[in-house]
Amino acid sequence: MDVVIVESPAKAKTINKYLGKGYKVLASYGHVRDLPSKDGSVLPDEDFSMAWDVDAKSQKRLNEIAAAVKGADRLILATDPDREGEAISWHVLEVLNKKKALKDIEVQRVVFNAITKKSVTEAMEHPRGLDKELIDAYLARRALDYLVGFTLSPVLWRKLPGSRSAGRVQSVALRLICDRELEIEAFRAREYWTVEADMKTAAKAPFVARLVGIDGKKLDKFDIPDAKTAGEIEARIKASRFSVKSVESKPARRNPNPPFTTSTLQQEAARKLGFSASRTMQVAQRLYEGVEIDGETTGLITYMRTDGVQIAPEAIAQARTVINNEFGEAYLPDAPRVYTTKAKNAQEAHEAIRPTDIARLPKSVAARLDDDQRRLYELVWNRTVASQMENVQLERTTIEIEADDAPINLRATGSVIVFDGFLRLYQEGRDEPDEGDEGNRLPKVARGDRLGLDKVRPEQHFTEPPPRFTEATLVKRMEELGIGRPSTYASTLQTLRDRDYVRMDKNRFVPQDKGRLVTAFLENFFSRYVEYDFTAELEEKLDKVSAGELDWKDLLREFWKDFTVNVGEALELRITEVLDRLNEVLAPHVFPDKGDGSDPRQCPSCDNGRLSLKVGRFGAFVGCSNYPDCKFTRQLTAGAEGEEVAGDRVLGTDPETGAEISLKTGRFGPYVERAPLEPDDKPKRSGLPAKMSAADVDLDTALRLLTLPREIGIHPETGKKITAGLGRFGPFVLHDGTYANLKDPEELFDIGLNRAVAVLAEKIVRAEERAGKVLKELGEHPDTGKPVQVREGKYGPYVKHASTNATLPKSAKPEDVTLEQALALVAEKDEKSGKGKKKPAKKAAAPKNKTKEPAARKPAAKKKAPAKKSPAKKAAPKKPAAKKPKATEMAD
């Protein structure tokens, strides 16, 4: 028996069918080990030794693999054909060696680029050993990402509270977005004019010509700066007579684009399908793992993480056959097209992304795919086939025109498609509008022909700022600069969104204040590590490691030596030094010129204080230098036309009570407040919906928000009330502990009882579907009265009670489980998770609060109690300050 290890269970099931008897295929479910999310997982002082951790789920799978390997003839590691796949195989092998499970067992490594029977069986015939260089490159990359994340992020937390993390590639991608925003803000529109003329031949055939020269001078873009100059030129053109000076027609051609790489697939899927990079990769993964065709699961595309543009000779032959059959011999080039990778840092030599069987037309598999899969497969198929089709044949014509009695020159250009070639099937999308003249057919004219003039059209234009990055253009720019790798683009961009460093506006990246602050800090105190050239150079060195040209530990030593010096210098900085620098760097953004000559940093509340960046527990904000006498604060960004977004801005008075209504900013952002009528009363407050700008809040909006939460009515089945409110995760309706989200905040104010009941019912149905099918109803829990059930789960049957899920022992049959057995499993699970310990803790703490202290003081009382028990407990209060993002949050 041979044991084969792959990454996913779907792949394991398929490959098991391909290989048949004599093989047992198991899934590792991706990585089985990772660096623990704590300091000390990589030790530079111990020659960069790395402490790997196996979580409970991975441990269970590794035990299953170890049990299967015992007594096996061979262990075949068949994980993905890239660095990560090689690393997973290495991790599995390391764990099995530690378990001493590989005694006298042969270990082989196989790779296949597609999940088809042919690809897999051929790979099995050509095994190899593990690639040490690829593993070293993985170790170097993982260590670098960890060291940067766990060394740089704490500096951010101390010097710039509220910042989440920094990362080797993540921070450079964020800088690209912030730098583009600075360009946009610094941009000043410049006026310019163009002049076009509607002309006609002697045969009355119309065409358009543009002014290109006057008075012996070739016109540049800004040579017609205003309406006056344009008007004078218009009058001169109208007073002139024109003839053809020359006609030139030249043939031209356009070559097809090469097949997809990871980055070009992400770019084109964003342009044409509206997919994010992560969505593209998820759908591509499903196409790679395959669908059932003729009773056999078959992968539809080759491996989707690649820098290569070459495709296998047999695939080229298939494509040429398809072209000849589907489009005709005219669309088939005389010789196959061969593409080579132009990227200077191309990853391991894999094929481009292509269909595993090009003869499998999109229409033949459409019924077996969901809409996303169908559209992406069609995109891959079209691009692959078009890459082997004939060129587009064009004819480009230029007509030069001159005035008979004045030095005025006009030009008409046109480009006509003579043969559509690959455009018959596919045309690459563009990120920005293109002003090409393809399809602009010009009339037939000859030198010396007289031309008529119908109309002269001066047009005003203004230069435009560079556009913000879309996912497609940002991935393209990162690839051009050599930053990151195809397999990391999707996760890097998602991390920026998850950290709230950026937001998306019309599918374009807009940096948030938090992101701009982090970027400004890194550029000023860690400039080398967010430089584009430095990051690209580091990627080149990592590629040299994978090629066996550089020792991975030499790379780490060189990096760590300079990095630790830089970190040490930054830790010595006082927060006031950091804020003074950031006040200067971010002044145009945080303190924009008001346009009236006044000091943009003058406090609008006390008039003699000076605004400055401040940092609090929840991040940066703008405050007055006269604090605590002046308590004016606002968010970093000022509103339109210099109006402050927040601060104690009075909106008006409540028409019913006469209480003052204000817009304020707290540690969680802006909110509205109704002042209390009595000194001992608490003010009524409400936050703003996520997409509502503080600058747009008026008195009417505030009064509506202050009605929340509002009672909708009584649930017809339970007799309990239903309320609508605004919470941390947006608008919701609440009934008997069940929250159901609403899509539109406006629904909060007009949702009726019927709609609320329906929304709650849908939430319960979805929860039931996620919980799995009920296999057996056992009755009610004696303490809570809530049902106890046996349900069908993803990993086997389990007992469910309220929010507790307890797995059934393997020996237990769902139909035989009794209520008593289920209650014991639930109690055991609650005890392990700590749920069963909460009530006693509350009872023990009750006597200490006999004086009815304010709620805010209770946590302090609880902290004192453990200090008396043992020295170990004294460290407990420090835990909140030591919270850190997981390793995946800090590393790219």
Close Cβ partners of 66 (under 8 Å, ≥ 6 residues apart): 95, 96, 99, 101
- Which tokens sit at 741? 């989200």
Q: Is 59 strand, coil or helix? A: helix
- Expressed in angstroms, the distance from the first to the final Cα of the chain is 39
Residue 211's φ and ψ, nearest 5 degrees, are -70, 125
Exposure string of 313-343, with b = 16+ CB inside 10 Å and e = fewer, is eebbebbbebbeeebeeebbeeeebebebee
- Which tokens sit at 517? 């602050």
Q: Is 510 strand, coil or helix? A: strand
- Which tokens sit at 70? 């015992």
DSSP 8-state assignment for residue 743: S
Candidates 303, 331, 501, 529; catalytic one: 303
**Cβ contact 7:30 at 8 Å:** yes
Task: Give the span between the Cα atoms of 333 and 356, in whole angstroms.
Answer: 22
Task: Give the span between the Cα atoms of 566 and 147, in whole angstroms.
Answer: 13
H/E stretch holding 558: helix 552-571
Strands 23-27 and 2-6: parallel
Close Cβ partners of 344 (under 8 Å, ≥ 6 residues apart): 482, 540
H/E stretch holding 19: helix 9-19
Burial class (CB in 10 A: 0-12, 13-18, 19+), 445: buried
Q: What angle do CA 688, 690, 693 make, to 5 degrees?
A: 65
**Cβ contact 389:331 at 8 Å:** yes
In angstroms, the Cα distances linking 536 to 172, 476, 484 are 10, 14, 8
Task: Give the span between the Cα atoms of 746 and 818, in whole angstroms.
Answer: 48
**Cβ contact 345:540 at 8 Å:** yes
Active site residue 739: no
Strands 191-200 and 106-109: unpaired
Ranges of beta strands (E only) in 626-754 are: 633-634, 649-653, 660-666, 669-674, 684-687, 710-714, 721-727, 730-735, 738-741
Length of the chain: 892
Of the candidates 21, 56, 50, the residue with the CA atom closest to the CA atom of residue 38: 50
Catalytic residues: 303
